[in-house]
Amino acid sequence: MDSKSIVGDNVWVQVPPSAPNDPERQRTLGVVLISEWFRMYTFIKTDHTVCMRFEEVFKIDVNSKTEKKGNLTYLSWAWAWAEFKKVYPDAKYSVKKFDGLPYKKDDGVGAIVYTEVTAGDLTYEMWLPVMDIRNNAILQPKMTDINKTIMRCLTKNLAMFGLGLYIYAGEDLPETDKDFHPITEKELSEFWDVQNVKKTIQWYENQLGLRFDEWGAEECESVRAVLKEQKEKRKQVALKNKRVEG
């Protein structure tokens, strides 16, 4: 009689040809059944633990630790990492290197960084282009831009485990010009009748604490409101002077 095989998930055990009540055959069957039960128990327990931890991390309220700049919402990376380590004490992260540099750059499209986070039995990687506050790629980024982007990428990487995931909801939706029109120098001079555009931009930069190319929807709306008020005042003064002359 040929030997037979007992088949489990990815488990093949040769069973010697013997009678059904043979002790050796029964021991082999017992080992296989116990191994399969333990494997399935471990799988179910691990999967349940992963789900429980995701829910635990996802429920952490990050709203008080975020900051709005232009069109983007930033979460403090130091706070995010500290909170994440409370749930995953063994967590670790790494920054991908390219020829020794922590970023990959193309003069035509800009630079991008990559991070990887391992926690428990899970590993997720994330990537993020070096951008300004308007979500536009910075073609010639400074090292400070790259450093900030790496830490933002790490924070976004943690969102894959659930932390602050809702912050990124909708970011993959297409943007339209209808949503946001950045202020341009042409708009300042032709529509708002600004005489010294460079000086005006510099003044608003000091007031807002942001470079002109970093102004988002909120900043542009505020500046336009002031410019509109100033334009109306100039019109009123012009009308008043015209009446006086008439």
pLDDT for the residue 28:
57
Burial class (CB in 10 A: 0-12, 13-18, 19+), 187: middle
Q: Do 90 and 162 share a domain, yes or no?
A: yes
Q: Do 197 and 213 share a domain, yes or no?
A: yes
Q: What's the pLDDT band for 40 if we cut at 50, 70, 90?
A: low
The percent of residues above 70 in pLDDT, for the chain, comes to 74
Residue 15's domain comprises: 4-58
Say yes or no to pLDDT of 104 above 80. Answer: yes
Q: Do 75 and 147 share a domain, yes or no?
A: yes
Tokens at residue 187, please?
């708009």
Check residues 7 and 179 and name the one with the higher pLDDT.
179
Q: Please report whether residue 219 resides in a domain.
A: yes
pLDDT for the residue 4:
44
The answer to whether the beta carbons of residues 170 and 135 sit under 8 Å apart is: no
Q: Please report whether residue 175 resides in a domain.
A: no
From the CB of residue 20, how many other CB atoms can be counted at a distance below 10 Å? 7
Among 135, 168, 201, residue at a domain's last position: 168
Check residues 161 and 69 and name the one with the higher pLDDT.
161
Q: Please report whether residue 218 resides in a domain.
A: yes
Pairing type for strands 110-119 and 72-75 reads unpaired
Q: Do 27 and 76 share a domain, yes or no?
A: no
Q: Please report whether residue 173 resides in a domain.
A: no
Q: Do 130 and 218 share a domain, yes or no?
A: no
Q: Do 150 and 103 share a domain, yes or no?
A: yes
Q: Please provide residue 119's backbone torsions phi and psi, each rounded to the nearest 5 degrees.
A: -145, 130
Token pair 């450093």: residue: 147
Among 58, 73, 104, residue at a domain's last position: 58
How many independent structural domains does the chain possess?
Answer: 3
Q: Please report whether residue 180 resides in a domain.
A: no
Q: What's the pLDDT band for 178 if we cut at 50, 70, 90?
A: very low
pLDDT tens sequence across 221-230: 889 989 999 9
Q: Do 68 and 164 share a domain, yes or no?
A: yes
The answer to whether the beta carbons of residues 103 and 96 sit under 8 Å apart is: no
Q: Do 229 and 144 share a domain, yes or no?
A: no
Provide the whole-model pTM.
Answer: 0.56
Q: Please report whether residue 174 resides in a domain.
A: no
d(CA 88, CA 53): 9
pLDDT for the residue 20:
54
Q: Do 78 and 152 share a domain, yes or no?
A: yes
d(CA 170, CA 168): 6
Tokens at residue 46, please?
């691990």
Q: Please report whether residue 52 resides in a domain.
A: yes
Q: Do 26 and 91 share a domain, yes or no?
A: no
What is the SS3 string spanning 167-185?
HHCCCCCCCCCCCCCCCCH
Nearest to 213 by CA among 117, 158, 132: 132
Q: Do 104 and 125 share a domain, yes or no?
A: yes
The answer to whether the beta carbons of residues 158 and 164 sit under 8 Å apart is: yes
Q: Please report whether residue 90 resides in a domain.
A: yes
pLDDT for the residue 169:
74
Q: Do 70 and 146 share a domain, yes or no?
A: yes
Among 138, 168, 198, residue at a domain's last position: 168
